[in-house]
Chain A
């Protein structure tokens, strides 16, 4: 299941002028690059000229860096939480094996938030006040992020989320909340439009669940496809508790080139099966978000109909022909095979499209703590400034999903998106978007907010 989004903010500024985006992006990239270079240089200079690394005492140095991991162990996010836990543990092992952060070991303190916003705020508070955590990290579901971030802000504890929600970049949160390890849904959805319109067709019918999560897709994609000269010819909203879909398929206009679907929940396989029965052998192109089938084996009976259709993937589940050494090593570390399944059970398919965000975020925390000479909670503001100063993140062992560019003002990272095609029941890479495909104008500048 996909993270349901609570979207008061997500709908803000969703009408995007693509030309404006490109201009702004170019300018902002240059500005950012210069600013970041200066800031990073200053930080590095500070770190080396002042005795920063010697500033914390031996006692502090022997204390681990405590990272509060707000994990969905129970509740509707638990299936994702299990894999976020694996990616997190693997990243921490790697970081510790390589000497830790500023010479200190990293310790994860996992607290279950029950995928519950109120509980989320409570565990963030526990991390800050009881466990002495340096930061809080790892939240996936948007409503938990939105419920927890205000408390993180009040307690002045950096809160690194891995949620994909647009709530960070929309400006609804605060300076203590950052999303540097995974792109947001707004950029993901709009980045699909160029490929869909140029390779699959210009007339799109959208089928989506009728609540905030589906509405985001509807709004972001409609705007983006129109900017590409395409058109959404029908918007078919499905009630969230629907269990059969046959009555909706006749609503798909005959002139539809592409169906864009983002169904989630326990009826998703029924949706695919009934769509297959409806179209038989003559179907339009079909494009979906892997969230619908995250952790589902595509070779499952009933999914044959998906052969030849396309999916967005945050990170390709199947090792591709051009697999990087970074992806290969990342898979080994997390315990995942070339099909994206667990090494302990080839039927246990991972949430591969999302969980890299935990791995990458922890590497950014490490980079930020090292750049700022972080020695304890008193340096939390410096840590945030150091992360805000980051820009380009090259494809590397720290960033196995691909290169990224961080926007310090919006606290949101931008990166490549992958479109894969179901080929012989595997997802084979068909297109990689550019990072610039994912840009949109800034909606906030958190750096102007006081700490």
Chain B
């Protein structure tokens, strides 16, 4: 998950001019307003009767709705075939990352857009996971796994792979080179299927395959979901406590999602370049900063996890609680999911506006033989909205809105968790206070990152 920048694959389109216009916007007052909104929401949940926030997350039954699981399995298998075709085009298709279906499909349609659909709307992953189709056949074929994943490891293998993937995304010199991406995905697909065979398909997908782990977490926030034979809806986060298996280390995974996203935003700011002694106007290229970026990525995550543990521990003391760190982390860390999703969304919004156009052009003529399926023949990709103050303002405010909203939801969820584990509202306020302050400051950080001069 990440926030804004050229340091993400296929990004780079946020025009320098967009940055120039942001510099002219009154971002100071905008940031102050965003922080104030989060702080006020916090006070509101403190002082409102405790059942009010619960009412906010009440579900509404919409219509009769039933999905046959085999439909999703067929869809998952088609997704698998798409991935295989994508890898083939990555190896043999056009070398241009903005025309190659693999680069566009993986980085833009999947990595940028799919988490947003998953987190805001519905469980898309249930349809597009390229592995889910194999779970049933493998379970039938292999009555029990050849090897057992050690329970002690919990979900930490997924954390390690998430960090490796983040390093590939942020530090590798050419993650959007189609052939390079195809090779990485081939290795990962092979590893995943092998892992599913050796350790059991469900266990591997639940605890090692990090896309699945991430998507299962994001699903907790979505507005729409199937419950029984009904399609239900509710405010972002209404499913937060539903049907969630807790694995050891899941809180670390969630914090790493946020830490990585935060570092991605920082990674392209002039502030960061000052720290690593690079002139951003004379940026020597990603290959020149691999080591600082990897160190920054790891440090940012360690700092975030450390700070978070300190905050929840102080909160526990303030409430005179005797809960251990694991219990506290399992309660509070998931409440940062809306912030992580907000960072991801705000970060990739400008990219999606531009690279989404390349995706549409690719769909217009998917086989490169002159089709004009969407009638886009002769259309040129535009970045004109980065060249004008009002459109730049609109984009910036949309990003700021997403960041602020994410924090507001996190603040409410954190308070509800605090009430749940401490039992009464007063102790919950004390216990949640440090995390709440942390989230208010994180709002400032997120908005500051949006406004800061950068080289995107």
Query: Are B11 and A4 within 8 A (Cβ)?
Result: no
A82-B383, A342-B384 given; A240·B17 CB < 8 A: no
Q: How far is the CA of A345 from the CA of B16 in the complex (A)?
A: 18
Residues of A with C-beta under 8 A to B320: none
Q: Which of B94, B96, B282, B382 has the most CB of A within 10 A?
A: B282
Measured between C-beta atoms, what is the minimum distance from A196 to chain B in Å?
Answer: 24
Which A residues, 249 to 271, have Cβ-Cβ distances below 8 Å to chain B?
Answer: 264-270
Q: Which of A109-117, A176-184, A323-331 contacts B (4 or more CB under 8 A)?
A: A109-117
Residues of B with C-beta under 8 A to A110: 94-96, 99
Query: Are B282 and A119 within 8 A (Cβ)?
Result: no
Query: Are B383 and A79 within 8 A (Cβ)?
Result: yes
Measured between C-beta atoms, what is the minimum distance from A242 to chain B in Å?
Answer: 9
Q: Say whether B234 faces chain A, with CB atoms less than 8 Å apart.
A: no
Q: Which of A76, A131, A240, A343 has the most CB of B within 10 A?
A: A76
Which B residues, 92 to 108, have Cβ-Cβ distances below 8 Å to chain A?
Answer: 94-99
Query: Are B384 and A114 within 8 A (Cβ)?
Result: no
**Residue in B6, B22, B282, B389 whose beta carbon sits within 8 Å of that of A4 in the complex:** B282
Query: Are A270 and B177 within 8 A (Cβ)?
Result: no
Q: Which of A208-216, A369-377, A430-438 contacts B (4 or more CB under 8 A)?
A: A208-216
Measured between C-beta atoms, what is the minimum distance from B161 to chain A in Å?
Answer: 24
**Residue in A240, A269, A296, A301 whose beta carbon sits within 8 Å of that of B279 in the complex:** A240
Q: Say whether A207 faces chain B, with CB atoms less than 8 Å apart.
A: no
Query: Are A117 and B284 within 8 A (Cβ)?
Result: yes
Q: How far is the CA of A4 from the CA of B278 in the complex (A)?
A: 13
Q: How does the 8 Å CB contact mask read for B2-43 relative to A, with 1 for contact and 0 for none?
A: 000010011111011101111110000000000000000000
Residues of A with C-beta under 8 A to B24: 269-270, 273, 302
Residues of B with C-beta under 8 A to A266: 16, 19-20, 22-23, 270, 453-455
* B282 (CB) vs chain A CBs: closest residue: A4
Residues of B with C-beta under 8 A to A112: 95-97, 174, 176-177
Interface size on A, residues (CB 8 A): 58
Q: How does the 8 Å CB contact mask read for A192-226 relative to B, with 1 for contact and 0 for none?
A: 00000000000000000101110000000000000
Q: How does the 8 Å CB contact mask read for A46-88 relative to B, with 1 for contact and 0 for none?
A: 0000000000000000000000000101111011001000100
Interface residues, chain B, with chain A CB atoms under 8 Å away: 6, 9-13, 15-17, 19-24, 94-99, 173-174, 176-177, 270, 273-274, 279-288, 378-385, 387-389, 391, 453-455
29 residue pairs bridging A and B, Cβ less than 8 Å apart: A71-B96, A73-B12, A73-B98, A74-B97, A75-B285, A76-B12, A78-B13, A79-B16, A82-B13, A86-B380, A116-B286, A117-B287, A117-B288, A213-B282, A240-B280, A240-B282, A241-B274, A266-B455, A267-B20, A267-B453, A270-B23, A300-B21, A345-B380, A347-B384, A347-B385, A347-B387, A347-B388, A347-B391, A348-B380
Interface residues, chain A, with chain B CB atoms under 8 Å away: 1, 4, 6, 71, 73-76, 78-79, 82, 86, 109-112, 114-119, 122, 126, 131, 143-144, 209, 211-213, 240-241, 243, 264-270, 273, 295-297, 300-302, 335, 341-349
